[in-house]
Amino acid sequence: VIRCRAAVAWAVGKPLSVEEVEVAPPKAGEVRVKIVATGICHTDDHVLKGGFPDVEFPVIPGHEGAGIVESIGEGVTSVKPGDKVIPLGIPQCRECTFCLNPESNYCLKSHLSEPQNLLPDKTSRFTCKGKQIHHFLWVSTFAEYTVIPEYAIAKIDAAAPLDKVCLLGCGFSTGYGAAINTAKVKAGSTCAVFGLGGVGLSVVMGCKAAGASRIIAVDINKGKFAKAKELGATDCISPHDFKKPIQEVLTEMTGHGVDYSFEVIGHADTMTAALASCNMNTGICVMVGVVASGSMISVDPMLLLCGRTWKGTLLGGWKTRDSIPKLVSSYLEKKFNSDLLITHTLPIAKVNEGFELLRAGKSIRSVLLF
C-alpha cells in the first residue's frame, strides 16, 4: 500500500480537499501509476457540481493525466514499471464488437456501458480516513498514485514531457480529433467553433491543420479571441454584439452557412444554433460539449431533412490505445503545439484555485503538478 496525496471530492458542490490517501497495489490486469501531471478539464467541474448522476461520492476526480508505471498486476503485458503512460477516459479492450470495428472508437468497457465508480472487480483501491473512496472513469488522475485497468492505459514515448502531453489524455485530443476524424474537415472549407475553452481551441487547431480557409470562433468571452486567432481562427464574434440569432449572423457571413460547425460548450440552445449555422444540405455539425444530465433538445426536423449531418464525438474519434501514442509522437515531431493551451501550472495543493480560474474564464488549461 502506498500513502500519497490526492484531491478528494467528499460531496457535491464542496471544494476539493487535498488529503493523504492509501492506494492498494494493483490486482490482475491492473496497473499502478505515479501521476506526474494532470490537466483540469470542464468535465471534472461537471463532476464537482453533480452533473454526472452516476458518479458516486466521495470520489477522486481527474482524467487528463500523464505518469509513470510504478507496478503491474498479474497478466499485464503492454506496460512495465518505468514506462511513461497516459491514462484513458475511453478504454480500448481490443476484443468487443466496437473495438473490432475499424470505424469505431467506442469500447463496451466504457463508462457509458458500465459504471466506473469502482474498478472492474467492483472494489476500490483508494481509502482515506478509513473510508472507501470511489474512482472516476477508472483513472482518477487527481491522485499521486492511481490504479487503472490495463486496457485504459496507453504507453507513450519515453521522451515525452509529462507536464505537457497530459493534455492529450482528453482536451486536446478531443477537440483536434473532432475536426480531423469526426467532421473530416476538408481543405478550403469554412468552419464555426462555438466555445473557446481548451477543447474549442483544439478544434480550431484541428480545422487549421485540415486546411480550412475560414474558421469563425464564437464566444461571449472576448478575452479568448487573441488566443483563438493565434491558433488559427480567421474571425472572432460574440453573440452579444448582434440583435439577431448567431446562426443568422454566420449564414450571412458565409452565404449559405458554414461547411462544418462544432458545439464545444454543452448547452442545448447553442447545439441547435450550431446545427442551424451549417449549410442546409451538406453541412456537418459535431457535438463536442457535454450537456448537463437530463437536458433535452427540441429541433425543427427540416434542419435535418434537407441533408445536414448531426454527429457526436467521443474523445475526438481516436481509438485510444492505438492513437494516443501516435499523437504524442506527432507532438514530439512538432506537428502541432498543444503547449499554447497551457496558461497556468500549479501544485496539487492549489487545485481549487485552478478550478476558480476555469470558472472565471481566466484559464485555458491549468496543469497540476505533484
Each domain of the chain, given as residue ranges in start order, spans 2-171+317-369, 183-312
pLDDT in tens, 200-231: 999 999 999 999 999 999 999 999 999 999 99
What counts of helices (H) and strands (E) characterise the chain? 11, 17
β-sheet bridge partners, residue 32: 71, 147
- The predicted structure's pLDDT at residue 53: 78
pLDDT in tens, 8-32: 999 999 999 999 999 999 999 999 9
Residue 178: half-sphere exposure toward Cβ, Cα within 13 Å = 33
- The predicted structure's pLDDT at residue 52: 83
Distance CA 1, CA 125 (A): 9
pLDDT in tens, 252-300: 999 999 999 999 999 999 999 999 999 999 999 999 998 877 889 999 9
Where are the alpha helices (H) located in 126-265, listed in sequence order?
162-165, 171-177, 198-209, 225-231, 246-254
**Phi-psi category of residue 254: left, alpha or beta, with phi > 0 → left and psi -120 to 50 → alpha:** alpha
Distance CA 314, CA 172 (A): 12
Distance CA 72, CA 33 (A): 9
Candidates 356, 349, 357, 359; CA nearest to 368 is 349
CATH for 183-312 (3.30.450.20, 3.30.365.10, 3.40.50.720, 2.60.40.420)? 3.40.50.720
303 in Cβ contact with 283 (< 8 Å)? no
Q: What share of the chain is helix, strand, coil (3-state, %, to 5)?
A: 30, 25, 45
Helix (H, G, I), strand (E, B) or coil at 281: coil
| Percentage of the chain modeled with pLDDT above 70 | 100
Confidence of residue 51 (pLDDT cuts 50, 70, 90): confident
- The predicted structure's pLDDT at residue 4: 98
Confidence of residue 112 (pLDDT cuts 50, 70, 90): confident
- The predicted structure's pLDDT at residue 292: 79
pTM (2 decimals)? Answer: 0.96
β-sheet bridge partners, residue 266: none
- Fold category of 2-171+317-369 in CATH: Quinone Oxidoreductase; Chain A, domain 1 (3.90.180)
